[in-house]
Chains A and B, each alone.
Chain A
Amino acid sequence: MSSAYPTTWRKPPQMVQSRGWRIALAVGAIVYLVLAIGTIEVNWARVIAGMERAQRFVAGFLQPDFTTRWRDISNGLMESLTMTFTSTVVGVLISVPIGVGAARNVAPAWVYYVCRSIIAVSRALQEIIVAIFFVALFGFGAFAGFLTLTFATIGFIGKLLAEDIEDIDEAQSEAIRATGASWLQLINYAIQPQVMPRLLGLSLYRLDINFRESAVIGIVGAGGIGAALNTSLSRYEYDSAGAILLIIIAIVMMAEYSSGYLRKWMK
């Protein structure tokens, strides 16, 4: 152990140096909190009426009803799962060239800016808002959801892949360049082996995220299990809603554990 231990303990440095500013910030924070909490309007009569529903919901969660609405649930689940898989595959396929184009060390400047702006647009727009538009354009159902998730996947994978390519070990690409390799050969032999494991890990992670999102975009009409959840809640069928939520939690947990396991196994 070569590092020398510090022999004294000092207070960690303050974030704001001047004392006056610290007090001003604290006062500002308190004023904000008072104002913000003041804007909450609670209709207590409504809340008390809602408590009975809350009880029914908890009861529904403890005794989920899988059978009465099973057709809706299984349809929605099927839609969600197929949507998740296809959109992840297509999204990853599209985002690989975009990710390569958005890496400063392998792409020319104009390609870099085009790809970066595609990524920025895809990341700035919320999935739900995109879903609303795609439902308006392509009609209700899973196809709009598929497009939404694909669109969101491009921004996510593209950005992380581009950062990965920018972080690679330059020595290997130098070596390949020195052999007089073309650009495609450079990508294939110097870049691809370095980023492939990460790309697979990211795709699995995105599969997981896409499933969670597919449970939500159904609320605005883009198909999947969210639509079933929305219907059962608006019909006050809390036992079916509980069943759907339990299914969602179970699948997300399964996906999380198996993707963690797979990523470990691939390393």
Chain B
Amino acid sequence: MLWAGWLACVALFVWCWERMTERTIWAFVWDAPNAAADIGSRAFPPRWSYMERLWAPLWDTINIATLGTLLGIAMAVPLAFLAASNTTPSRLILRPVALFVIVATRSINSLIWALLLVSILGPGILAGILAIALRSIGFIGKLLYEAIEETDIRQVEAITATGASQGQILTYGIVPQVLPSFYGISVFRWDINIRESAILGLVGAGGIGAQLNSSLNMLAWPQVMLIILVILGTVVVSEWVSAKVRHAII
């Protein structure tokens, strides 16, 4: 039985492989090492003088990530309270709706959101911010509602026993318990958003990706090299910041 399962997996793999590669041009694939060496030799050294034109897009990229995260949080927090089974006002209607919004926003990548928003709002950083915000809703919402569901019920009961209203139960019983994970989730998402906003420019949503796109179109490999180094540097810095902040909270 186990062997049959493995055999089926192998057969599926072979079939998928055949399907996938039927339109591959193998001449390109075999030529890839030469092409890589060629691109590599053109890309070095990176064109450092291009850096002065990168500061403004870099600033835009950071803004897209930060403002997008803030906007995403603003929309995700109410959704998380609606989706958590212990705080939702109605389990039959609102909870499934909130869960659907959370899953749907999570399953569409920010690049796809950006593609849509650029065609609606026009190119620029506004489309980028909205794309990041919409994509963040699902992530923050899911982790936050799980944190809300895991809160200690005894504290809530103690506050309910004093005759507190619904709002008071939320502010004194549940919010203090989820606050640390809320900060952790937000910083974590900000870190991810820095990575994602770096490439949104490829589809016209502002930031350093736009520079990457135009350099790629001109085949200006030294500039591409520099931009990728800058993106990597930004990612490393943001990872360091978010690790520091999370360490300070938890």
Contact = CB atoms under 8 A, between A and B. Distances in A.
B interface: dominant SS: helix
Contacts of B21: 142-143
Contact of A129 (B108, B115, B124, B199): B199
Interface in B24-57: 24-25, 28-29, 32, 35-36, 39
B108 A230 contact: no
A152 to B, nearest CB: 12
A248 to B, nearest CB: 7
A138 B112 contact: no
Contact of A15 (B25, B63, B236, B248): B248
B20 A124 contact: no
A185 interface: no
Contacts of A138: 28-29, 32
Given A141-B23, A249-B104, A46 B28 contact: no
A236 B202 CA distance: 19
Contacts of A81: 16
A54 B118 CA distance: 11
A253 interface: yes
A129 B228 contact: yes
B1 to A, nearest CB: 15
Nearest to B27: A139
B129 interface: yes
B199 A128 contact: yes
Interface of A: 12, 15, 32, 36-37, 39-43, 46-47, 49-51, 53-54, 57, 78-79, 81-83, 85-86, 89, 124-126, 128-129, 132-133, 136-139, 141-143, 146, 212-213, 215-216, 219-220, 226, 229-230, 233, 236, 241, 245, 248-249, 252-253, 256
Given A139-B29, A248-B107, A79 B20 contact: yes
A251 to B, nearest CB: 8
Given A137-B39, A215-B109, A230-B115, A41 B120 contact: no
A136 B129 CA distance: 29
22 contacts: A15-B248, A15-B249, A36-B66, A37-B67, A41-B125, A41-B126, A47-B121, A47-B122, A50-B119, A85-B12, A86-B17, A124-B235, A126-B199, A128-B199, A128-B202, A129-B228, A139-B25, A141-B25, A212-B107, A215-B112, A226-B112, A229-B115
Interface residues of B, number: 56
Which are the 3 A-B pairs with shortest beta-carbon distances?
A252-B107, A139-B28, A46-B122
B109 A39 contact: no
B156 to A, nearest CB: 14
B176 interface: yes
B236 A124 contact: yes
Interface of B: 9, 12-13, 16-17, 19-21, 23-25, 28-29, 32, 35-36, 39, 59-60, 63, 66-67, 103-104, 106-109, 111-112, 115-116, 119-122, 124-126, 129, 176, 179, 195, 198-199, 202-203, 212, 216, 228, 231-232, 235-236, 248-249
A39 B65 CA distance: 13
B108 A249 contact: yes
A interface: dominant SS: helix
B238 to A, nearest CB: 12
Nearest to B14: A86
A40 B16 contact: no
Given A36-B67, A136-B39, A141-B24, A41 B119 contact: no
B43 to A, nearest CB: 10
Given A82-B17, A138-B28, 10 more contacts: A46-B121, A50-B120, A81-B16, A86-B16, A86-B17, A126-B198, A129-B231, A139-B25, A143-B20, A253-B107
A63 B106 CA distance: 22
A40 B122 contact: no
A49 B23 CA distance: 40
Contacts of B66: 32, 36
Contacts of A54: 120
